[in-house]
Amino acid sequence: MNTSLVIISGPTASGKSDLALAVAEKLDGTIINADSMQVYRDLAILSNRPSVSETVRAVHQLYGILDGASICSAARWRKMALKEIFAAAKQGRLPICVGGTGLYLRTLIQGLAAIPDIPESVRRAARARHEELGGKAFHAELAARDPGTVERLHMNDRQRLIRAWEVLEATGQGLSEWQKQGTPHEGLAAAGVRLAMIVLMPPREALYGACDTRFHRMMEDGLLDEVRALDTRGLDPSLPIMKAVGLRELLRYCHGETSLEEAVFRAQLVTRRYAKRQMTWLRHQLDSGEMESMVIEALYENIQLPEVFSFLDRFLLTSGGRKV
């Protein structure tokens, strides 16, 4: 029997979590996090994790489950997400994946490239080489050997650069080539999951305004205290959590390197740029014939919910589900 899954995505501050909650309440759904920062306990405010009052209104999974010192790769998240998707379906609940981390969503939908296990000796060699050369030179060296992969990676993205080096060294084939091969047998369709996707794509100016307003609310909610608490842990700056949007700018203020006004301005700027990148990714990467989709060109506050439920009604009826 097929499992029905709804994915709700969109750029940051578009209101996708609010929409997921509305759908979950209407359809007895389980909300499954697909945001790479909301998996961590340390940044509830900066990641805009659902509040306690929201989590009691519907079942929420994979929120705040990991310590900031850990790494939640796309593969690790996919394994956890699939477990929650099938558990929800078994309980008679509608699984609803919500988030804007494109790599997570693409990995969930399409599956993982069948890359062989990397020997620990190669992993050590990769880390040592990066330490020896430094980020810029390591990036340049890898670009000469595997330009197809490196063109998508920033020189400061230590984790992904080292991973690309490991794969190339161990297999003789670049990571981008492995990813092109794909693994259709591991995709959702092959696993018997029927997918509908709702994407929020608000007008850019409205979205940017929402980003700025939300950031001010985060500041009022104690964001600086949260950032200071994380800073005291002295975590490796290459860890994923330390790359949270807006974190670096606020840390500079905490370290006395800039004014609060400048830090907030810069944090809002990088948030708007991140939202723009998310919209671009969603337009180009999630166009798949394997799913039914609905694009909503509005923030959540302006959404016509009856239209959303009508779309889901048709999807669930044709997938053998229940009527909305």
**CATH classification at residue 39:** 3.40.50.300
265 burial via Cβ count (<10 Å: 0-12, 13-18, 19+): middle
DSSP annotation of 297:
-
For residues 70 and 102, membership in a common domain is answered with yes
Same domain, 96 and 25: yes
Q: What share of the chain is helix, strand, coil (3-state, %, to 5)?
A: 55, 10, 35
Q: Sheet containing 29-33: which strands, arranged edge to edge? A: 59-61, 29-33, 94-98, 3-9, 193-200, 291-296
Q: Give me the pLDDT at residue 320, please.
A: 62
Residues 155 and 79: beta-carbon distance below 8 Å: no
Residues 94 and 11 in one domain: yes
Confidence band of 1 (pLDDT split at 50, 70, 90)? low
Let me know if residue 231 belongs to a domain.
no
pLDDT tens for each residue of 152-167: 887 878 878 998 999 9
61 touches 33 (CB < 8 A): yes
251 inside domain: no
Q: Tell me the two tokens of residue 207.
A: 């979205």
Q: Mean pLDDT over residues 247-266, rounded?
A: 98
- Predicted confidence at residue 323, as pLDDT, reads 42
Q: Of 150, 181, 212, which residue is a domain's last? A: 181
Q: Is 274 helix (H, G, I), strand (E, B) or coil?
A: helix
Q: Is pLDDT of 288 > 60?
A: no
Tell me the per-residue pLDDT of 207-221, one tens digit each, with 9 for 90 and over.
Answer: 999 999 999 999 999
- Please state at what angle helix 223-231 crosses helix 247-254, rounded to 10 degrees: 80
Long-range contacts of 218-223 (CB under 8 A, 24+ apart): 218/45, 218/46, 218/48, 219/264, 221/45, 222/45, 223/45, 223/46, 223/250
Domain presence at residue 288: yes
Query: Which pLDDT score, from 0 to 100, does residue 158 have?
Result: 84
Residue 310 lies in a domain: yes
User: 197 and 136, same structural domain?
Assistant: no
Q: Do 194 and 63 fall into the same domain?
A: yes
Same domain? For 45 and 135 the reply is no
Question: Do 106 and 135 belong together in one domain?
Answer: no
In a domain? residue 309:
yes
CATH of the domain at 171: 1.10.20.140
Its sign, for the CA torsion 8, 11, 17, 23, is negative
Question: Which tops the pLDDT comparison, 253 or 180?
Answer: 253
Closest listed residue to residue 22, CA positions, set 45, 1, 50: 50
Tokens of 221: 């909610």
Averaged pLDDT for residues 309-315: 96
Shared-domain flag, residues 164 and 135: yes
Inform me whether the pLDDT recorded for 183 exceeds 60: no
Instruction: Choose between 60 and 113: higher pLDDT.
Output: 60
- Same domain for 46 and 132, yes or no, is no
300: tokens are: 């959540």
Gap between the Cα atoms of 62 and 235, Å rounded: 22
177 inside domain: yes
pLDDT over 60 at 324, yes or no = no
Q: pTM for this structure? A: 0.84
The predicted-structure confidence for 22-81, as pLDDT tens digits, reads as follows 999 999 999 999 999 999 999 999 999 999 999 999 999 999 999 999 999 898 999 999
* In a domain? residue 255: no
Residue 94 CA to residue 150 CA, distance in Å, equals: 39
Considering the domain architecture, whether residues 154 and 108 belong to the same structural domain is answered as no
Q: What domain count does the chain have?
A: 2
Q: Is the pLDDT higher at 112 or at 280? A: 280
Q: Which of 26-40, 157-171, 188-202, 279-293 has the highest mean pLDDT?
A: 26-40
| 75 and 196 together in one domain | yes
What's residue 247's pLDDT? 98
Asked if residue 87 belongs to a domain, the reply is: yes
**What is the reported pLDDT for 289?**
54
pLDDT bucket at 290, cuts 50 / 70 / 90:
low
Q: How far is CA 262 from CA 53, 246, 251, in A?
A: 33, 12, 12
Q: For all residues of the chain together, what is the average pLDDT?
A: 91
Q: Which domain holds residue 139?
A: 120-181
Confidence of residue 2 (pLDDT cuts 50, 70, 90): confident
Percent of the chain residues topping a pLDDT of 70: 94
Q: Rounded to whole angstroms, how far apart are CA atoms 29 and 5?
A: 10
Confidence check: pLDDT of 94 > 70: yes
Residue pointed to by tokens 């994380």: 230
Closest CA to 104 of 49, 161, 26, 34: 34
Nearest CA to 68 out of 47, 99, 97, 98 is that of 47
Question: In terms of domains, do 74 and 107 share one?
Answer: yes
Buried b (16+ CB within 10 A) or exposed e, 217-232: ebbeeebbebbeebee
CB of 24 closer than 8 Å to CB of 88: no
